[in-house]
Structure 1
Amino acid sequence: MRTVMQNRIPLAIAIAIATTTALIPLAAQADTPPPMISVTGEATISTPPDLAQIEAGVTTDAKTAREASEANNAAMSKVLAALKSAGIPEKDFQTSRLSLQPQYTNPNRSSPSVLSGYRATNRVAVKLRDISKLAGVIDTVTAAGANDIGGINFAVSNASKLLDDARAEAVADARRKAEIYAKAAGVSLGAPLSISEHGSSAPVMYRRAAMPMAAEAAIAPGEETLRVTVGISWEIKAAP
């Protein structure tokens, strides 16, 4: 009886070792990625903008905080009324900055700064859905008393749809590159293993332009360039 038990134990150990040895290559093989070629593809589309945004407001200086605030409110009310009269919906202009700050002078560097008054600032961001009205709106708010005009931003409203076309072109560009590498390496492309878009493609893309200083200033919106980059990995196989 003792001899039988002694023989069974080594036999069980041998079976376990053999089973484990057989499983290791399978697991290792499952974790090994297939041979592949990984490339990036790019595409750009240029299109004229169809949206614009400007910032317009009033900056007022006065001896007291109350005087500066009251004068600024009165002047800004005229600017807002001018925007409405120009046909800009209220939903398309919004306060972007509102501040009241003390102002100091220091005529003599050796002496402390002296409070000289207060400066009130009120500015609104105005969205224009028809960029042909841009120059006219600038003239309108300037005539109404706006003396704090910010930069102009141009935008593309249908950028997301345009980017879909660019995505297709970027995939084609990636495949073209992958085929070059595959031919040079003496292999052929299999099915794509992964596709990813690199970076962030915003649906609305703004571009800042120089601010015209005078009325009736010419506006040159130019074109917007939308760009897409994709990364694609293809399985490779032996060339036929």
Structure 2
Amino acid sequence: MLRLTTAIALLISGMVAASPLPDFPFINVTGQATIDVVPDKAQIHFQLRQTGATAEQATRGVYQQGASLLTFLKSKGLTEQALDAAQINKEAQFKDYQDRTITGYEASQPIVLTLDDLEHYVAIMDYLFTQPQIFSIHSSFDHSQREQFEMTLSEKAGANAKQRAAMLAAAQGVKLSTVYAITESGSFASLASDYGFTGGQVSFGRMEKMSADSGMAGALLAPKQITLQKSINVIYKLNP
């Protein structure tokens, strides 16, 4: 009987110790900060895709498309170092879902092109969109000084969290004490399902034409600004 009682006591003790909630009055707030910046770099994701009667024809087609791409990029002052290419993938093409007779082959290769400046962005996008065997083209924009902006955002998000916590505490007639927890990643059980620091989100601001030289009907656009955002979660102890 003594052993059973001891085991139950240890179990209850373990359950209490495992509780994710602090055992004192607290308040949990999320501080946020955003800043709009003009992007000065970009990544362009796309895929080279070729079909052929034989696997060799499809694969050779991707090689040739890649060589043409490199020639164009070199004309814009870019080198192979700006490209990050995945391994070529090959798939068989069938007559239909029921008849699995092979009618040809498709070879494809995902490519990521990194631009350290946006001087030739529109010209490059014009090239990619007008090539019949380049697909799935999309861009993401960033700023070369992102780390400096994120440091500023971290400070502003922290200040915003403290201001919001003080207002909520005052409304309940209590005062803030010390910080109990502040994290950049991880979780605090069910208290905050995403208890952490969001890593510099990018969203598009107002759009503007990058070049007046484009003769295409739907002139290519790039964001005039991107919004960098940070949020930080803080738990404060409360004093009566």
Q: TM above 0.5, one fold?
A: yes
Alpha-carbon deviation of 1:138?
Answer: 2.5
2:140 to 135, 147, 153: 153
* TM-score between both structures, scaled by the size of structure 2: 0.67
SS at match of 1:67: helix
How far apart are the structure 2 equivalents of 1:202 and 1:43? 12
The answer (yes or no) to whether the contact 1:123–1:148 under 8 Å persists in 2 is no
Deviations 1:158-183 (A, max 9, x none): 22221222222222222222222332
Q: Does 1:82 align with 2:82?
A: no
1:122 and 1:186, CA in 2 relative to 1: closer, same or farther beyond 3 A? closer
SS at match of 2:161: helix
SS at match of 2:119: helix
Alpha-carbon deviation of 1:188?
Answer: 3.0
Q: Does 1:55 align with 2:45?
A: yes
Alpha-carbon deviation of 1:34?
Answer: 5.0
Specify the code of the residue in structure 2 equivalent to 1:225.
T
The number of residues matched between the two structures is 197
Who is 1:100 aligned against? 90
Deviations 1:51-86 (A, max 9, x none): 212234542222122222223322321222221222
How far apart are the structure 2 equivalents of 1:184 and 1:54? 49
Q: Does 1:45 align with 2:35?
A: yes
Alignment of 1:73-222 (within 5 A): 73-96=63-86, 98-106=88-96, 112-141=99-128, 145=131, 147-149=133-135, 150-197=137-184, 198-202=195-199, 217-222=219-224
Who is 2:230 aligned against? 228
How far apart are the structure 2 equivalents of 1:139 and 1:70? 24
Identity score, percent: 25
Structure 1: which 5+ runs fail to align? Answer: 1-31, 209-213
The answer (yes or no) to whether the contact 1:62–1:68 under 8 Å persists in 2 is yes
Structure 2: which 5+ runs fail to align? Answer: 1-21, 185-194, 205-215
Who is 1:26 aligned against? none
Alpha-carbon deviation of 1:133?
Answer: 1.4
SS at match of 2:88: strand
How far apart are the structure 1 equivalents of 2:89 and 2:217? 27
Larger Rg: 1
- Which aligned runs of 4 or more in structure 1 are off by greater than 6 angstroms? none
1:173 and 1:77, CA in 2 relative to 1: closer, same or farther beyond 3 A? same
How far apart are the structure 1 equivalents of 2:179 and 2:133? 58
How far apart are the structure 2 equivalents of 1:51 and 1:206? 13
How far apart are the structure 2 equivalents of 1:44 and 1:207? 11
The answer (yes or no) to whether the contact 2:128–2:134 under 8 Å persists in 1 is no
SS at match of 2:71: helix
The answer (yes or no) to whether the contact 1:52–1:152 under 8 Å persists in 2 is yes
The answer (yes or no) to whether the contact 1:83–1:140 under 8 Å persists in 2 is no
1:72 and 1:171, CA in 2 relative to 1: closer, same or farther beyond 3 A? closer
* TM-score between both structures, scaled by the size of structure 1: 0.67
Who is 2:19 aligned against? none
The answer (yes or no) to whether the contact 2:196–2:233 under 8 Å persists in 1 is no
Alpha-carbon deviation of 1:126?
Answer: 0.8
1:115 and 1:167, CA in 2 relative to 1: closer, same or farther beyond 3 A? same
